[in-house]
Amino acid sequence: MTPHVGNDGLLKYRMELLEEKEAREIRVHLQTCRKCRSLLERVEDDLRRIKGFDPAVEAVVPLLPAARRGRVQSFLRVAAILAVGFLLGAATSESLRAPLVDVVPQNLITRPPSTSAGQFTVCP
């Protein structure tokens, strides 16, 4: 029979901190050693205690942030607002548009542009 494992060895074994070869040796030893099996149970109890902090807390689920809720609906809402705005804008600009002015060519006075500075008079 192999020598007893001891507390530290069993702790490492249970926490899977050993190389496979060492772990196998302990596994074999445990099959035949009641004392080490009992020590191992104590190690396991201790580990259960260490992870045993469990305060009475209730999970009160907060609302999903508004930005996430109904993103598709939000998108559609924005699209609808933009579409309505565009249509209103188009209708308004149509009704407020100034009447067109007919330009009759014969009423226009055309004069060739001045080409030299001498044509200007100097104010006294």
Using the minimum distance from each CB to other proteins, give the nearer residue, 61 or 96.
Answer: 61
Note whether 3 binds other proteins by CB under 8 A: no
35 to 64: interface string for other proteins, x by CB under 8 A? -------x--xxx-xxxxxxxxx-x-xxxx
Q: At what angle do helices 7-14 and 20-32 cross, to 10 degrees?
A: 120
Binding residue for other proteins, selected from 71, 96, 98, 122, defined by CB under 8 A: 71
The tokens describing 76, both together, are: 């559609």
Residue 74 sits at the vertex; the CA angle it makes with 73 and 78, to the nearest 5 degrees, is 115
Helix extents (H) in the chain: 7-14, 20-32, 34-50, 71-95
Chain residues that interact with other proteins, rule: CB under 8 A: 8, 11-12, 15, 17, 42, 45-47, 49-57, 59, 61-65, 68-72
